[in-house]
Amino acid sequence: MQYKRSERVADLLQRTVAEILLRRVRDPRLSKLTVTGVDVSADLRYAKIYYCFVGSEEERPQVSQALEKARPFIRREIGRRVELRYVPDIQFFFDTSFDYGEKIERLLHRIHEES
């Protein structure tokens, strides 16, 4: 099975961004953040980075602001670590799939308790 180059680059970017956030970004608001996936455009110029974090709903805007503030630094670090002709323009998006999974888990637990 062959993978498209954009999929390979997406995997590489996911690992790289996770490492940058873990080891290089010093903002405490980003300490509970996990990179859940990356989508890269076919021409490798744009990357959507999906994340989730352990925390309250009230913290979400602060985490989003911290990511936006760190975005130029993260992009520079990607340029240093990953050999690509162009460093992709990156955007961060909150991954809602984990919230949905948690909601389903609570509903199943409630059904199990009632029966």
Number of Cβ within 10 Å of residue 84's Cβ equals 14
* pLDDT for residue 3: 62
* Mean pLDDT confidence for 9-28: 95
Better-predicted residue by pLDDT, 3 or 58: 58
* pLDDT for residue 1: 47
Q: Minimal CA–CA distance to 13: which of 43, 48, 54?
A: 48
Percent of the chain's residues with pLDDT above 70: 97
pLDDT exceeds cutoff 60 at 110: yes
pTM: 0.84
* pLDDT for residue 72: 97
Cα 88 from Cα 41, distance rounded (Å): 9
Is 93 exposed, middle or buried (CB count within 10 Å of its CB: 0-12, 13-18, 19+)? middle
